Amino acid sequence: MAVIYRSVREKCGRDILRLGILSVLLVVGTVFVIAPNLFLDYKVVIANILREARPNHLGADGLSFSGNLKFYLLDISEAFGILTLPLALWGAACLLRERQRGSLCLLTGLIYWVCMSVLKLHWSRWGIPMYPFYLILVGTALADLRKRAAAMPKGGGLVSYGAAAFTLALLCNAILLGTCDTKALLVPDSRALALSDFAQMGITAENSVYEGYTPFDPAGYLDKTDAFRQTGAGIEPTQENSQKAYFIMSDSFYIRYRSEPERYADKIAVYEAVAEKYPVVYKLEPNGNRRVSKWILRDILDCLDYLRQNVTCGGSAITVYALRE
């Protein structure tokens, strides 16, 4: 976009091709230096791209193009505090009003936002590359507010102090969130802890029906609600799973199903029937998952509280039901 803008402004159409090719080569070369595996393991890269481009995934599908746009906008704004959203919009208005050539690079964030929203799935992690552009808009608004405050005959000092206090709170929140995320990543995951317990209890992949986000399928690809059937005697394993002794579940699937009860009523019914009929022989509840708030002050207080806690387990709750006596 910058190349096209410069070439049109200077009325030199040939630069679009010349500088465009140069820009692409620079980007490709930089990516190769940073992550050469993207080129050397291209088959794996292509396979991952095709897998992530799938149209359906539990808890990450079902939104339209406009729904995805809204999802990423709210996800980013709530990550830094919902009060940053009007500031970001203000910053965007400032850039449009001033029409500075240097702000043209921010179109990259806009283009990325639109491209991600075209896809069928939506993930918070896919929005991370948009964070810098969003913060630039917030910073632009705060700078404009400071400039306007300096020009006020009265009350400008109070407005300036308010902008400075908000900037400090935003910075503290970002630092604390990063520190908490680091601590959370260092906490042992429930799948690893449960796997150690299973070895002592004699629970194996061979004698169990296990779903995703559990020790035997940590990546989370397996949905095993189809391993059960409803009969006159109630819920029971299907014929091919009749010799299994345990059902290992994670609350990751169940929580996602519960968020769309009408769409997944049959699957929710399976979990409820299993919980009603079979006894629980093992349950591991995590205590290392921190709370997240869209309000900056609340987030700061929650982060400080989380940093003081002695957490021993993160991830999803793991529950094991005994299918046979």
DSSP category for residue 238 = -
CB 7 within 8 A of CB 19: yes
pTM: 0.76
Report the distance separating Cα 144 and Cα 257, nearest Å. Answer: 45
The whole-number pLDDT of residue 9 equals 63
Q: Which of 101, 122, 102, 104 is nearest to 113 (CA)?
A: 122
Q: Which two tokens stand for residue 319?
A: 């529950």
Measured CA to CA, the distance from residue 325 to residue 281 in angstroms comes to: 11
Evaluate whether 211 touches 217 at the Cβ level (below 8 Å).
yes
Beta bridge partners of 322: 246
Rg, Å, the chain Cα set:
26
pLDDT by residue for the chain (325 residues), tens only, comes to 566 656 666 666 666 677 777 778 888 888 889 888 888 888 888 888 887 778 877 777 888 899 999 999 999 888 888 888 999 999 888 888 877 766 767 778 888 899 899 988 888 888 888 888 998 899 888 888 888 887 777 767 788 888 888 889 888 988 998 899 899 889 999 999 999 999 999 999 999 999 989 999 988 778 888 899 988 878 899 999 989 999 999 998 888 889 888 888 999 999 999 999 999 999 999 987 777 788 888 889 999 999 999 888 988 999 999 998 7
pLDDT for the residue 3: 61
Cβ 140 vs Cβ 133: under 8 Å: no
Q: How far is the C-alpha of 280 from the C-alpha of 274, rounded, in Å? A: 10
Q: Which residues of 134-166 are buried (b: 16+ CB within 10 A; e: fewer)?
A: bbbbbebbbebbbeebeeeeeeeeeebeebeeb
318 - beta bridge partners? 250, 284
Q: Are 58 and 257 in contact (CB under 8 A)?
A: yes
Position 6 scores a pLDDT of 61
Given this model, what pLDDT does residue 15 score? 65
Burial class (CB in 10 A: 0-12, 13-18, 19+), 123: middle
Which residues have CB under 8 Å from 194's CB, separation 6+?
214, 215, 282, 284, 318
Q: Residue 218 burial by CB count (10 A; 0-12/13-18/19+): exposed, middle or buried?
A: middle
Q: Could you give the angle at which helices 131-150 and 84-98 cross, rounded to 10 degrees?
A: 80
Beta strands 246-250 and 318-322, pairing class: antiparallel
